[in-house]
Each structure stands twice: as C-alpha cells, then as structure tokens.
Amino acid sequence: MRSRGIKAGILLCASAVLGTCARPPSLLEEVVGTGELRVVTRNGPNTYFTTGEGPAGPEYDLIRGFAEYLGVRLRLMVVEHPTEVMPALTGGAAHLAAAALTVNPETAREVDFGPPFQQVTEYLVYREGRRRPRDLRQLHGKRLEVASGTTYVKTLARAQARHPELVWTENPTADQQELLTRVAQGTLDYTLVKSNAFAVYRTYIPEIRVAFNVAEGESVAWAFPKRADPSLREAAARYFEHIRSTGELGRILDHYYGQMPRIDYVGTRQYMKDVRARLPSYRALFRAAAAQYDLDWRLLAAIGYQESKWDPAAVSPTGVRGLMMLTEETAATFGVEDRTDPTQSIHGGARYFAHILAKLPRTIAEPDRTWFALAAYNIGYGHLLDARRLTRDRGGDWNRWADVRPHVRLLADPAVAAGTRHGYARGGETLYFVNNVRTYYNALAWATRDEGDAAPWQQQRSAPPAIQADLGRTKVAARTADKRRG
C-alpha cells in the first residue's frame, strides 16, 4: 500500500524539518521528513492489543496501513485511560489519535476529526435474567456507572437535559471490560457500551444483554490536532478512500466484527463451560495434530466443537460421525479407520483441513484463505469453486471471502445452482458453520492469548510433505476419472 508518489512529493520540502525551507513544514511533511508517524491509542479489543504473535486490533491494522501508505514507520503511544488520549494529541506528543473515538460536538471543539470509517450505536446493557429497562426513566434508584472521560459521560449529560432525574457514577479507574464484567456478575446494574465493543465482549461475557439504544448513528473516526494545516488529515482521507475502493477497509472490519453477532447466547455460555470441562481431555490431541500438519490447534478445536461439541460418539442423521464428524469417504481417504476414536478423528480432520488449504490457489491471501478452507470443509471443495466462479462472473473478487460469501448462500437457490458445475448446496448452513467456527476460535484465542500461539493467517506456509503427497494422489485420481468420463 506504500505510495511512492506521495512520499516523493512530500520529500521535495522535507528539508523544512531541518529549517532550510522558507516556510514551516506542514504536519504531513514533518511526518514524512522524520520517517515516523506517532499515534496515541488505547488497549482494547476495538483498538489495539497484543497477542502471542504480535500486535493486532482494528485500529492497529488501520494505522499500520496508513503508516505504510505514507512510507514511514509507526510509533504507538498506548495510554491506560480514555482521559489521556486527547491531552497526548493536543499537547503535541502524537500526530493523530486512533482509539475508537466517536465524533461529537464537544470533542470537535478540541480536535479535527478525519473521515468516519464505522457507524456505531451506544447501548445500555444489563445482566441477563434481570428485568429489562425500557427507557432511561426506569433507571431511577439503580446503579449506572461509566468510565470517566469517555463519550458515555457526554451522552448521559445530553440525556439528563431531557431526564433531570437521571443519575450516574463516573469511575476514574475502571475500563470497559471491568464495568461489563461487574454487570455480568450482578455487582453493577447498568453501564453503556458501543455496539462494536459489545459485539466483541459479548463473546467473552455472555451474561450481558442490550436493554435499549441510548445514542444512535455515531461515527468512529481518527482525531487530528486542531490547526490551520490540514495536510495529514487530508492524507488520511485519501488513504481511507483508497482502502474503501480496494475492499481492505471492509476486510479489516469483517475480520474483527463480521462473525461476532452470529452465535446465540446459550451457545456462547455453554461453549465457555465446555472449554473448561471438555477441552482438557482433547487439548493434547489437537496440539499434536496441529503440529503435524502445521495448523493452529485452536482452529482445529473450534472446528471440532462446531461439528460435535467435542463428543467423539456424535452421529449426524446423514451418517457422518466422530469428534470431527467425518464422512466414510473422507475418513477412508485420510487414513481414519475408526471415526469414533478421538485421536484418529482429530488427526483425520486436521489432515483433511490441511489438504484443503494446500489446494486453494495461491492468489487467495490470509485470513481469507482460512475462511475459504472452512467453507470447503463444510460444503465441499467443488461447491466452493462454484461460489467463487459465481462471484467472478458477477464482477466480484473471487479471492476475497467478503465477496464470495453471499454467493455461497446463492447455491441454495435452485435457479442459480442449475447453472453451476456441482449444483445445489445448502450455502446458508455453510455460512453459519464458518461464522460459528470463527467465533469459537476467537473466544479460545482470547482465553489462551498468553500461550504464544500464532494465528493461522500470520504466515503463509508450504504444505507439509504428507499433504503434498495427498495432493499428488488427488490429481492422479482426477486425471484418471477424466479419462474414464472421456
């Protein structure tokens, strides 16, 4: 994404940083001239966080891309509390703030906001099982608490103009997760949370529920110093225009939020119980199989949970069985003699998934490559090819999961399926499968985030020798079948 034209044009006056230009350098010239973009952010699932394989988060991915676009290195300033973000920006310590900030009139008097890249709603949340309030008037006498210095304080202040009886507490030390956890535990009645944050935390704190919307249609954007020089903000606007046109913005948001709302409350809660109760019996098997086939054991475990809830005796009405729910044909192809044996089932499922990954064209990059492989694991490789061809023929990018996903669903339309090579498929069930596996994986990755395991899309690896041999046999069998059909 690095733009040589941008950097070359700016460097014509980069000497301004050293004081040799007649005019003071613009903010953009300063950034490019020093080779460093300083960004203030906060730690959290909607902004920036670290994992065993390195930094991640939606805001991090975006600002890293912006630094690459400008051709400079990224320097992060991570503050602990929301009240520290704006002082770091207005005091000159940072060139911009990327901390899941929502545009509001009060803050706009202090800073300039860049182009919005996400729309969010602010929810009032309560604990599942308790009486749901319908509006702010029903909060009288209850404990409502938000973190001080956040937009939630401004939201409540505006609401208080309409409801003078509204009372809340501003906590100077608590963060979003702490407040949501207290609501889930019943030690706090209510708090506010943005819809994008709720989508993430809901997976790990399944007891929280949305009561009603407190503020709607809020825009998330970066903040820039309020000065006459708009150069850096205008460069950011061009960057967002670029990543919108390429689909990169949608891919980033889909990666962090696309799967979150797809799983129901009972499933999430039960899953977290099963992670503690059932997973320990099979964890070593998942790790061993993942190591053999160069996969992420947490992804294998997520597939196994979606397939069987980690039950080695599971049987479907169509005859697939075992912990990884393999068909007889798949089991025979990948060396599984007893599908109900958890060791054989997990190794067979791992080998099958690695086989699919290796078959996918090299033009498909991660993390889309993993989503494609999950879809093929569920629906079959031939049907996935049909969905990709439909995407290409209709003007979409057949290498991007976000483009192919709606065409997977179209395979269930008999009129559409009649024109495909492999015919009808229950594409809606496949999307449900992929979304749930992604959710289960994310929850497990969060629970084991200190163990240093890399996500499956962190590296592009060549197929292990055993999988290369499988691919060779598959190609020979395909050529033989073609000759027989001829």
Q: 310-366, pLDDT tens digit by residue?
A: 999 998 765 789 999 998 888 999 999 999 999 999 999 999 999 999 999 999 998
Assess if CATH 2.30.30.240 describes domain 118-220: no
List, in order, residues 6 or more apart from 219 with CB less than 8 Å away: 102, 103, 113, 116, 118, 119, 120
Give yes or no on whether 4-113+221-257 and 262-485 have one common fold: no
Q: Which class is 262-485 in CATH?
A: mainly alpha
Burial class (CB in 10 A: 0-12, 13-18, 19+), 289: buried
Q: Which of 145, 307, 329, 337 is catalytic?
A: 307
Tens digits of residue pLDDT in 433-475: 998 899 889 888 877 876 766 565 554 445 555 555 555 554 4
Which pLDDT band holds residue 262 (cuts at 50, 70, 90)? very low
307 is catalytic: yes
Span 193-208, average pLDDT: 83
Which pLDDT band holds residue 480 (cuts at 50, 70, 90)? very low
- Across 251-267, b (16+ Cβ under 10 Å) vs e yields bbbbbbbbbbeebeeeb
What's the CATH code, domain 4-113+221-257?
3.40.190.10
Hey, where are the domains in the chain? 4-113+221-257, 118-220, 262-485
Identify the weakest region by mean pLDDT among 5-19, 89-103, 169-183, 424-438: 5-19
Report if pTM > 0.75: no
